[in-house]
């Protein structure tokens, strides 16, 4: 049974700084099962399309599994042989856009997928080597310069046809194509990461120095406070001895 795992963006795994935000801003996404028209326009029709998942907790590792089965006992979608099914994401990564029904990463980063459910082992559309390799030559694989990291898609599928019989494919990651500014962005990210590490270390050392200074002040204060009563007792004892000595001297004179 074939399945696809859609993994939500996780703050710990985002390594690219976004154009509209800081380096570690959380990412929010959505996932829709849509019609072909909605797929092509990147616009949701609530009467025909279904929202499958919300990536609304960027600090947690969340994922949604789509199982391609013909019948479902629950509210999960059903997939019939010979038909095509379309998935899109219409959020732009910001929390305010998580319920957006148009545009978003679908339009700016081509974050959309098309799946064909093979009708049988002799279906000519499922015999090509591209299909066996998990590659579909659709427009969804072309993209201009991205501004948001794509949602990671992991797929596990078992093909049953003459050209790739019982061939189980390993995890496949679908990402944006090569970006001419990729090297520059990676260098910039490395610099930002090093700067962040230095700032964290400096802050830690500064805090440690403040803590040591505070403890030293407390110890010095306690030391002087404990010496004060002892000094007073020493002076009282010396005065008492002096008086006793004076009395003894007076008695001797008598």
168-188 pLDDT tens trace: 444 434 444 455 455 555 666
Question: Considering the domain boundaries, does residue 30 fall inside one?
Answer: yes
Q: Which residues contact 11 (CB under 8 A, 6 or more apart)?
A: 24, 26, 27, 58, 59
Does residue 65 lie within any of the structural domains?
yes
Q: Is residue 235 in a domain?
A: no
Query: What tokens does 29 get?
Result: 């996404």
In a domain, 184, yes or no: no
Contact between 38 and 88 (Cβ < 8 Å): yes
* Residue 77 within any structural domain of the chain: yes
∠ Cα 169 50 120 (to 5°) = 40
Q: What is the pTM of this model?
A: 0.50
Asked if residue 42 belongs to a domain, the reply is yes
Q: Is the pLDDT of residue 91 over 60?
A: yes
What range does the domain containing 110 cover?
A: 2-133
> What CATH number has the domain bearing residue 73?
2.60.40.420
| Overall number of domains in the chain | 1
Residue 251, in any domain of the structure: no
Predicted confidence band of residue 230 (pLDDT cuts 50, 70, 90): low
Strand order in the sheet with 63-67: 63-67, 3-7, 152-156
More confident residue, 113 or 148: 113
Residue with tokens 């007076």: 250
Any domain includes 225: no
What pLDDT band is residue 24 in, cutting at 50, 70 and 90?
low
């Amino acid at each position: 049974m074939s399945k696809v795992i859609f993994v939500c963006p996780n703050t710990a795994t985002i390594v690219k700084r976004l154009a509209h935000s800081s380096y570690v801003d959380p990412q929010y996404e959505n996932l829709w099962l849509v019609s072909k028209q909605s797929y092509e326009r990147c616009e949701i029709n609530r009467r025909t399309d279904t929202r499958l998942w919300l990536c609304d907790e960027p600090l947690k590792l969340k994922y949604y599994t789509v199982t391609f089965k013909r019948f479902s006992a629950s509210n999960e979608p059903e997939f019939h042989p010979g038909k095509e099914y379309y998935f899109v994401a219409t959020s732009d990564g910001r929390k305010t856009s998580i319920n957006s029904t148009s545009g978003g990463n679908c339009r700016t980063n081509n974050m959309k997928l098309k799946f064909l459910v093979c009708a049988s082992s002799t279906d000519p559309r499922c015999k090509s080597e591209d299909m066996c390799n998990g590659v579909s030559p659709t427009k969804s694989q072309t993209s201009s310069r991205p501004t948001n990291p794509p949602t990671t898609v992991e797929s596990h599928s078992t093909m049953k046809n003459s050209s790739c019989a019982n061939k189980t494919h390993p995890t496949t990651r679908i990402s944006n194509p090569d970006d001419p500014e990729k090297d520059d962005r990676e260098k910039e990210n490395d610099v930002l990461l090093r700067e962040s590490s230095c700032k964290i270390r400096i802050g830690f050392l500064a805090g440690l120095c403040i803590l040591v200074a505070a403890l030293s002040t407390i110890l010095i204060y306690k030391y002087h406070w404990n010496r004060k009563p002892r000094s007073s007792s020493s002076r009282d004892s010396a005065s008492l001895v002096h008086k006793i000595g004076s009395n003894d001297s007076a008695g001797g004179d008598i």
